[in-house]
Structure 1
Amino acid sequence: MYDLLIKNGKLTNGDIIDVAILNGKIAELGSNINEVATKAIDLQGLHYLSAGWVDLHTHCYPLSPIYNDEPDLIGVTHGVTTVVDAGSVGADDIDDFYRLTQQSATNVYSILNISRIGLLRQDELADMSDIDLDVAKTAITNHSNFVVGIKARMSGSVVKNNGLAPLVRAKEMQAQNNNLPLMVHVGNNPPNLDDIAELLTEGDIITHCYNGKPNRILTPEGELKESMKKAIKRGVILDVGHGGASFSFDVAEQAIKKGIYPDTISSDIYCKNRISGPVRSLSHIMSKFLTIGLPMEQVIECVTTNAANALKITTKGRLEVGKDADITIFNILNEPCTFEDSEQGSRKGSESFLPLACIVSGKLITTQHGEQHNVFNA
């Protein structure tokens, strides 16, 4: 007997599929599963399902003094099964953050700030003594199933007079910790993107890849910078990391027209930009990419397979037997909507992702939209 059986879910390619779940894992996939289950829901071919959505750039440490939120308010409430906090905490607070996450219905991981103090202040990389390799190694070792990467915010306002030195130290930290994924925030210079990109290697993640600041990936003429061409060729990953100040429709559209696609789509969400915009939710950010022309299937890959691969989370991101039973159920809402970026730009769209429910380790959690549609009564 299965714990949960989902009948007639629609994949992004239009295929209809059944998914059987047992002990928090995907136990069977097929077109006509008729085994007995403790609970069954029939999507009747009307609703999409995918592997659970992963938001790999959030700020959800509730006690952070600058950027904070509750994991479930940015996670399962919006159909997101896994949220990754990107640098809110460093080694000093990782124990406390881990303890708090155990109360969340949403899966939570941490990308550890290379500064031991985390986002205790905006210029956490201004004092090089806060980047302690030994303390970081202990924290990462003690939380090997929780810390999935390290984060360096390489903006002038963060590093102050230290230039590239924090990034050099981050690469040392990465090498000492089994080549953990390194996420690099690119904002206002100095340091310049060209110099940052030169230090990045395969698997490193540039977040805020479509920011509209002078330190953007495009030249003033709209061409991809040579440093970025080389970085992408080396296998550097492009992450959206929308946030309140780091996404430009103009830059994204110019880049995508040239085939410079995002590898991962993330929100950089916290309470303020969730409530007041322009972020709102991961699904809202995903909808912006529908509006500027990315096909639904590609958008879903960016928040499932690609996101899990980027952070080497091998149990998530795919609808496969044996993987964690993390699933997002959603619709596409067809009605006019205006989307705003971080630069006072806007676009009018006609389609939006509408998350109806998610399943985390086999447990069904209905979103507010799902309750309104009343589609999950067994």
Structure 2
Amino acid sequence: MYDLIIKNAILIDDSITDIAIYQGKIVKIDSVISDPTIRILDLKQKYYVSAGWIDSHTHCFARSPIYHDEPDLIGVKAGVTSVVDAGSVGALDVDAFYQLAQQAQTHVYSFLNISKIGLIRQNELADMQDIDVALFDKTLAKYPHFIIGIKVRMSRSVVGENGILPLIKAKEMQRKTGLPLMIHVGNNPPELDEIADLLTKGDIITHCFNGKPNQIFDKQNNLRDSIKRAIERGVILDIGHGGESFSFAVAERAKCLDIYPNTISSDIYSKNRLQGPVFSLANVMTKFICLGYSRKRILDSVTQNAAQVLRLKNKGKLTVGYDADLTVFDIKQQAIELADSDGEVRQSHEQFVPLASIVADTTKHSLYIEITEEGSKNALRISN
């Protein structure tokens, strides 16, 4: 007995398979799975399926005054089954965010800002008094399955005169919890070298390929020694594209040196979703086709790598026993122009196009299926 059978799905290695789902779990993967009484999603050997896409850097607290969006608009309606809000909220407004997140069909998680005020203003770490450790610890204990990490933004406009002090404080707070720490890097001060040397295994540098002066390459276009050491220690590189934080030139230089991001994320919110240059996680993924990344490397960066970095159990793999979070997509063979955050435009000969999101609720043993607008155009539908 199954709840859904996906038939004739193409995997990223171009093999064809059927997938059976029961009570929110993948229970069978085989060349042929038949049951005429069960709901069928037939991909007709035309469309791909993967583990559900995970966007590990978004801003989706709808009530945030600066960076805000709706989880389902950047999630299930865009082929993304899990989104992580990266620091929009602090301890003072996480209750409101949690309540809104529970109403979404997309899985929503939070990296809690170390500043209790979150992003109600751009310089949330200019006043060290806004780091309330006791309140932070209490909040983490209240939402152990919702708050999966810690966020600290380390750029001049955020920290003011405090320099490296917020990161030192964040590392102290992290050591008590063991949660992943995501560090936003941007304009100096503080200097990237100073930031990188404080980071340890599992810490996440987001905006890793930004084109700002404080980037991972020095003025001679060599990888900074501090970044080389950080990578060797197991520090994670995350894209975090955003409106100002992704450069084709930096990403291309990194690839020449065999430096790849662990995770590809969007840093999406309403403005850069509607006006670009982000638009969607799929659009960001397509930019890495321009750079010569393999399809598998790109998909791994939004599935198994993301699940591992974020410590999301039973997600990120198309494997029996894992949660039935799946993304159905096409890889269209058509030219598209893509812009980075610096305005450089490149062309891709193909693009990722999400067609459907399948999201498991393992607590209720239920399944939510969202056919995207493009999926509807392609006559994708559930039979029975």
Smaller-chain TM-score bracket: over 0.9
- 1:366 to 2:371 alignment: yes
Separation in 2 of the partners of 1:36 and 1:220?
Answer: 64
- Residues 174-204 of structure 1: CA deviation (Å, up to 9, x unaligned): 1111x10000000000000000000000000
Stretches of structure 1 that go unaligned for 5 or more consecutive residues are none
Deviation at 1:34, TM superposition (A): 2.0
* Partner residue, 1:171: 171
Aligned partner of 1:359: which letter?
I
* Partner residue, 2:119: 119
Deviation at 1:36, TM superposition (A): 5.3
* Partner residue, 1:217: 216
Contact 1:5 1:37 (C-alpha < 8 Å) held by counterparts: no
User: Secondary structure of 2:349's match?
Assistant: strand
Deviation at 1:24, TM superposition (A): 1.0
Greater displacement, 306-315 / 195-204: 306-315
Greater displacement, 27-36 / 315-324: 27-36
Instruction: Give the alignment's TM-score, normalised by structure 1.
Output: 0.98
Contact 2:89 2:112 (C-alpha < 8 Å) held by counterparts: yes
Separation in 2 of the partners of 1:16 and 1:205?
Answer: 35
Contact 1:325 1:359 (C-alpha < 8 Å) held by counterparts: yes
Separation in 1 of the partners of 2:36 and 2:120?
Answer: 52
Contact 2:106 2:359 (C-alpha < 8 Å) held by counterparts: yes
* Partner residue, 1:205: 204
Contact 1:2 1:37 (C-alpha < 8 Å) held by counterparts: no
User: Secondary structure of 1:328's match?
Assistant: strand
Contact 2:7 2:42 (C-alpha < 8 Å) held by counterparts: yes
Contact 1:7 1:42 (C-alpha < 8 Å) held by counterparts: yes
Deviation at 1:37, TM superposition (A): 5.2
* Partner residue, 1:24: 24
* Partner residue, 1:55: 55
Aligned partner of 2:301: which letter?
C
Contact 1:155 1:189 (C-alpha < 8 Å) held by counterparts: yes
* Partner residue, 1:248: 247
Contact 1:21 1:325 (C-alpha < 8 Å) held by counterparts: yes
Separation in 2 of the partners of 1:192 and 1:176?
Answer: 26
- 1:294 to 2:299 alignment: no
Greater displacement, 133-142 / 191-200: 133-142
* Partner residue, 2:105: 105
Separation in 2 of the partners of 1:48 and 1:16?
Answer: 9
- Residues 58-102 of structure 1: CA deviation (Å, up to 9, x unaligned): 000000000000001111111000110000001111111000011
- Residues 311-369 of structure 1: CA deviation (Å, up to 9, x unaligned): 11112111112211100000111111110001111101111101000100132210000
Separation in 2 of the partners of 1:375 and 1:187?
Answer: 42
User: Secondary structure of 1:26's match?
Assistant: strand
Distance 1:37 1:87, change over 3 A: farther
Stretches of structure 2 that go unaligned for 5 or more consecutive residues are 361-366
Separation in 2 of the partners of 1:377 and 1:82?
Answer: 22
User: Secondary structure of 1:199's match?
Assistant: coil
User: Secondary structure of 2:333's match?
Assistant: strand
* Partner residue, 1:321: 320
Separation in 1 of the partners of 2:37 and 2:23?
Answer: 12
Distance 1:107 1:37, change over 3 A: farther
Contact 1:2 1:36 (C-alpha < 8 Å) held by counterparts: no
Separation in 1 of the partners of 2:48 and 2:2?
Answer: 21
Instruction: Give the alignment's TM-score, normalised by structure 2.
Output: 0.97
Separation in 2 of the partners of 1:140 and 1:311?
Answer: 16
- 1:73-112 aligned at under 5 Å gives the runs 73-112=73-112
- 1:6 to 2:6 alignment: yes
Q: Which runs of 4+ in 1 moved over 4 A?
A: none
User: Secondary structure of 2:334's match?
Assistant: strand
Separation in 2 of the partners of 1:207 and 1:20?
Answer: 36
- 1:273 to 2:278 alignment: no
Separation in 2 of the partners of 1:190 and 1:322?
Answer: 47
Greater displacement, 61-70 / 30-39: 30-39
Aligned partner of 1:164: which letter?
I
Separation in 1 of the partners of 2:17 and 2:128?
Answer: 53
